[in-house]
């Protein structure tokens, strides 16, 4: 469980006739009953509970535009929402704004799959898992991969510039988008759905909206890049003594595997213990205990050759003292078992009491130093606390989570621990800043980190961000209170 955030109770508001929304999307797609709205007003970690006049569910871009225009006439803000899997509250309307939630889940159509240009044009409400499956049916790969891929939507991924486990090889969501269709705050539609790899006709407007968390426009469709589908994979779970050894292993893997290296995830021993304890069927993949592990995966469109590369890489790593032991997946089931040890890490922490979260990044070369300093810092702040740092070492993104000390499970102990959330965040973020890192690597800013930005973001950058917001949304209609 995570830090509870107080709900702002809205003041009394004059009645608003919502019939205009029903005329646009149909009465059954305007949700006003509290019980039916509730799933849209709480986010995944229970950090925020929101308030809204209604949840409106359009089915087309034209309906989205009409809903935005009508909301503007009524003086209502619009908070876009996809699968409601975001972790920083950007998809939840605060109680201090008078708003509707604009749910895009009905916009789930595939407009085109074009294998010749390696693109797929999809609407924003399509789940990431469905995008992956459709790409595979076309003998292609869409490489974005997240633990929430069964429920998160491509529009939400674009709004948050989602990262995931394949950034090392393919980049963030921003790198996977060629074109966008966006409804603006005044109800106009920007038709930017092009498939061009090169287009030098002025500003790249697409990049304004990727990562803007619905504050500049509402993404309704996107042209996504596709890649050759891997026909072979080699997956290994490696024991390393320290993060420094893991960094040396990363350097070796890049040198010997080149572009075939697609995953390099750092996992602490305590994380493996949590997964084995709480996930039925999970088990230690290696006979000896190690302080740290690396989940390493190679992939290729070629049908053979990767096993030899992986074996040679691990042989060199063991001879060089970088890896103490390793197991190579001999089957799809074993590969899935290795991935469970990584993908279940976020979920299992809730079974171990309160967890204070950090989604940070530092230059890859500084990860070992950052971890040494951050672990020493939090254990000095809270003796007995249990750091669980894990994540995407290949791209510098570490989820530096810290579980409360092992205890009786008393709710009062948990509450007392979570009261230290802000102080611990401040201490860890200060270390991140000293190393030239970011306090939001892949989860976004949302409402959770909005007030922290002035302490870490260049003031000129913040001025430019505010200027862009004023230019495209002068009335503050779109997702007010998020990011800025």
CATH of residue 96's domain is: 3.30.43.10
How large a percentage of the chain has pLDDT more than 70? 98
Residues with Cβ within 8 Å of 150's Cβ and at least 6 positions away in sequence, in order, are 127, 128, 129
Residue 4: is its pLDDT beyond 60? no
Residue 5: is its pLDDT beyond 90? no
* Residue at 452 is within a domain: no
* Residue at 371 is within a domain: yes
CA distances from 2 to 5, 83, 261 (A): 9, 20, 34
Q: Bigger pLDDT: 46 or 116?
A: 116
pLDDT (0 to 100) of residue 11:
53
Residue 202: is its pLDDT beyond 70? yes
Q: Counting Cβ atoms within 10 Å, is residue 187 exposed (0-12), middle (13-18) or buried (19+)?
A: middle
Which residue, of 57, 84, 103, is where some domain finishes? 103
pLDDT (0 to 100) of residue 246:
98
Whether residues 214 and 256 share a domain: the answer is no
Whether residues 75 and 164 share a domain: the answer is no
Whether residues 220 and 117 share a domain: the answer is yes
Whether residues 401 and 297 share a domain: the answer is no
Please state, rounded to an integer, the average pLDDT across all residues of the chain.
Answer: 95
pLDDT (0 to 100) of residue 70:
98
Q: What number is the average pLDDT over the span 66-94?
A: 95
- pLDDT one-digit tens code per residue, 404-423: 999 877 899 999 999 999 99
Q: What number is the average pLDDT over the span 315-342?
A: 97
* Residue at 454 is within a domain: no
Q: What number is the average pLDDT over the span 435-439?
A: 97
Q: What number is the average pLDDT over the span 56-81?
A: 98
Q: What number is the average pLDDT over the span 458-473?
A: 97
Q: What number is the average pLDDT over the span 98-119?
A: 97
* Residue at 465 is within a domain: no
Whether residues 290 and 308 share a domain: the answer is yes
Q: Which pTM was predicted? A: 0.93
- DSSP 3-state of 306: helix
Whether residues 358 and 287 share a domain: the answer is no
* Residue at 453 is within a domain: no
Residue 44: is its pLDDT beyond 90? no
Which residue, of 82, 103, 124, is where some domain finishes? 103
Whether residues 329 and 314 share a domain: the answer is yes
Which range marks the domain in which residue 324 is found?
Answer: 232-346
Whether 57 and 84 have beta carbons less than 8 Å apart is answered as no
CB under 8 Å, gap of 24 or more: what pairs does 195-199 form? 195/114, 195/117, 195/119, 195/223
pLDDT (0 to 100) of residue 200:
93
pLDDT (0 to 100) of residue 12:
64
Whether residues 217 and 189 share a domain: the answer is yes
Q: How many domains does the chain have?
A: 4
Residue 203: is its pLDDT beyond 90? yes
Residue 380 sits in a domain whose CATH number is 3.30.70.2740
Whether 262 and 326 have beta carbons less than 8 Å apart is answered as no
* Residue at 7 is within a domain: no
Residue 31: is its pLDDT beyond 60? yes
For the chain, the farthest-separated pair of C-alpha atoms sits apart, in whole angstroms, at: 73
pLDDT (0 to 100) of residue 6:
45
Whether residues 257 and 318 share a domain: the answer is yes
Which residue, of 346, 379, 412, is where some domain finishes? 346
* Residue at 481 is within a domain: no
pLDDT (0 to 100) of residue 1:
46
Residue 165 sits in a domain whose CATH number is 3.30.465.10
Say if strands 218-225 and 119-123 run parallel, antiparallel, or are unpaired: antiparallel
Whether residues 118 and 202 share a domain: the answer is yes
Whether residues 280 and 334 share a domain: the answer is yes
* Residue at 43 is within a domain: yes
Q: How confident is the model at residue 429 (pLDDT cuts 50, 70, 90)?
A: very high
- pLDDT one-digit tens code per residue, 362-389: 999 999 999 999 999 999 999 999 999 9
Q: What number is the average pLDDT over the span 141-148?
A: 94
d(CA 149, CA 188): 30
CA distances from 423 to 20, 367, 418 (A): 46, 22, 10
CA distances from 129 to 57, 83, 126, 265 (A): 21, 12, 8, 21
Residue 314 sits in a domain whose CATH number is 3.30.70.2190
Whether residues 299 and 363 share a domain: the answer is no
């Amino acid at each position: 469980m995570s830090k509870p955030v107080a709900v702002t109770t809205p003041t009394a508001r004059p009645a608003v006739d919502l019939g205009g929304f029903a005329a646009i999307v149909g009465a059954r797609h305007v949700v006003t009953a509290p019980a039916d709205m509730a799933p849209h007003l709480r986010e995944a970690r229970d950090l925020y509970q929101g308030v809204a006049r209604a949840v409106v569910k359009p089915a087309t871009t034209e309906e989205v535009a009409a809903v935005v225009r009508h909301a503007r006439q009524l003086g209502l803000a619009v908070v876009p929402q996809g699968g409601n899997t975001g972790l920083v509250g950007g998809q939840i309307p605060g109680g201090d704004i008078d708003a509707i939630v604009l749910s895009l889940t009905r916009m789930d159509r595939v407009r085109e799959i074009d294998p010749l240009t390696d693109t797929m044009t999809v609407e924003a409400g399509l789940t990431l898992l469905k995008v992956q499956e459709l790409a595979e049916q076309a003998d292609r790969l869409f490489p974005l991969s997240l633990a929430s891929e069964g429920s998160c939507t491509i529009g939400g991924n674009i709004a948050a510039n989602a990262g995931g486990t394949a950034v090392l090889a393919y980049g963030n969501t921003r790198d996977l988008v060629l074109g966008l269709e966006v409804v603006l705050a005044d109800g106009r539609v920007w038709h930017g759905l092009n498939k061009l790899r090169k287009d030098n006709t002025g500003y790249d407007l697409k990049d304004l909206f990727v990562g803007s968390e619905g504050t500049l426009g509402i993404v309704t469709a996107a042209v996504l890049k596709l890649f050759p589908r891997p026909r072979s994979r080699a997956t290994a779970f490696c024991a390393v003594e320290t993060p420094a050894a893991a960094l040396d292993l990363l350097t070796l893997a890049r040198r010997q595997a080149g572009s075939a290296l697609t995953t390099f995830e750092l996992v602490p021993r305590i994380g493996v213990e949590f997964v084995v304890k709480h996930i039925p069927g999970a088990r230690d993949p290696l006979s000896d205990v190690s302080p740290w592990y690396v989940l390493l995966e190679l992939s290729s469109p070629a049908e053979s050759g990767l096993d030899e590369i992986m074996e040679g890489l691990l042989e060199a790593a063991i001879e060089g003292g970088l890896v103490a032991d390793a197991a190579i997946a001999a089957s799809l089931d074993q590969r899935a078992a290795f991935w469970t040890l990584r993908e279940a890490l976020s979920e299992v922490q809730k079974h171990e009491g309160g967890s204070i979260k950090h989604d940070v990044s530092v230059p890859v070369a500084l990860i070992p130093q950052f971890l040494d300093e951050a672990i020493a810092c939090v254990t000095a702040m809270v003796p007995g606390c249990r750091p669980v740092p894990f994540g995407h070492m290949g791209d510098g993104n570490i989820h530096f989570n810290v579980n409360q000390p092992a205890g009786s499970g008393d709710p009062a102990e948990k509450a007392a621990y979570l009261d230290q959330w802000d102080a611990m965040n401040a201490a860890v973020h200060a270390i991140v800043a000293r190393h030239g890192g970011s306090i939001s690597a892949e989860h976004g800013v949302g409402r959770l980190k909005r007030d922290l930005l002035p302490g870490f973001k260049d003031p000129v950058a913040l001025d430019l961000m505010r200027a862009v917001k004023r230019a495209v949304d002068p009335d503050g209609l779109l997702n007010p209170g998020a990011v800025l």
